[in-house]
Amino acid sequence: MGIPTVMGAVDLPYTKLDGRELIVDGYHGSVYSDPSPGLKAHYQDIVEEDLQLVAGLEQLKDLPCETLDKHRVALWVNTGLMADAMLSLERGAEGVGLYRTEVPFMLRDRFPSEEEQRLVYREQLQAFAPHPVTMRTLDIGGDKSLPYFPISEDNPFLGWRGIRITLDHPEIFLSQVRAMLKASEDLDNLRILLPMISSIPELEVAQMLIYRAFDELLDEGYNIQMPPIGVMVEVPSAVYQARELAARADFLSVGSNDLTQYLLAVDRNNARVADLYHSLHPAVLRALNTVVRESHSQGVPVGICGELAGDPSAAMLLVAMGFDVLSMNATNLLKVKSVIRCITLERAEKLLAEVMTLPDTESINRCIETTFEACGLTRLLKPKLPE
């Protein structure tokens, strides 16, 4: 939504902040109270630079997202509310790589009916038609809960969440899939994405249920097509079985937020360890490279829909790895497009080859900064911290 946000600020004396001046630095996760004139001036400059940058990028909205040597990359968006859809279309989005279906569930005090779900999904599919809309099946658990479906666990991120819940409650899964399929009638731009898949049997059971819902609706007279079915790669087991998953799915989509969290054993919402969460960690980059390679070996397209996809400093690396789709928040779309249109694929591949030899995140960030400076793209990097 374009609102600067800092998570995990657990030590702020909230009761003493009323009426005091604050600076919220969403770039670096810092909050300043009662800032000095110098600090205010520093951040005012950043605000004005950001506004100028966004205004300058508007001219890219209708231009293709391709490198200087004509390598094309699809830029899609992540959505959850109709407000997201409107902003995305204004920014020139080519499709939806992640529609978070849990949002309509969170806005109610009970499970929405099949018809209520159909109406919400239809609105989203119509807004983007004929462009594809990737709908993730209900992904609750972990840090996302429903007040009318409480889940209490000591370690929720390693517990009952995502596909594990819906396969244990096939009535929830079937109702949602039926609503999605009904909503796609005569539009045929639906793609279904399965979250938290950690094994082949989970994928196969989910596919069986989707085929069952599809056959039921055909028998009921609906004019629908079987949508592509994809797998979210967000746990380490899925990385190491990416080839087998790709052989059984129509597409793969990396959820980089959870994948980073699980690879590094860091809960990104835990203030004590949040500074250990690095999406450009060498292990994360190697995992991403592996997923692309294994997916393409089966002739299956692969996208990425976590925060990393919308990070301009990561764009060159993701393009060089061969991701077919980058899906992000609409506010970052034009920044990422700007980076991709200023480089050649050869330059990106050279940067990736260098980065993959480096031992730590700090070295990787320095290497990226050097390349951005050489390409005249430093304005798209995070602004420096105040001295």
Question: What would the pLDDT profile of 128-180 be if each residue is shown by its tens digit?
Answer: 999 999 999 999 887 777 877 877 777 778 888 899 999 999 999 999 999 99
Percent of the chain with pLDDT over 90: 74
Pairing of strands 302-304, 190-194: unpaired
Continuous segment of H or E residues that includes residue 126: helix 114-128
* Tokens found for residue 105: 């569930």
* Tokens found for residue 171: 């009535």
The torsion angles phi and psi of 240, rounded to 5 degrees, stand at: -80, -10
Percent of the chain with pLDDT over 70: 100
Alpha helices, DSSP H only, in the chain? 37-57, 82-90, 102-106, 114-128, 163-168, 170-183, 200-219, 236-240, 242-248, 256-264, 282-297, 312-321, 333-340, 345-355, 361-374
* Tokens found for residue 215: 């056959």
Classify 281 as helix, strand or coil: coil
pLDDT reported for residue 204: 98
Q: Which CATH superfamily is domain 62-380 in?
A: Phosphoenolpyruvate-binding domains (3.20.20.60)
The per-residue pLDDT for range 190-249, each reduced to its tens digit, is 999 999 999 999 999 999 999 999 999 999 999 999 999 999 999 999 999 999 999 999
- The pTM of the whole model exceeds 0.85: yes
Q: Residue 83 pLDDT > 90, yes or no?
A: no
Continuous segment of H or E residues that includes residue 41: helix 37-57
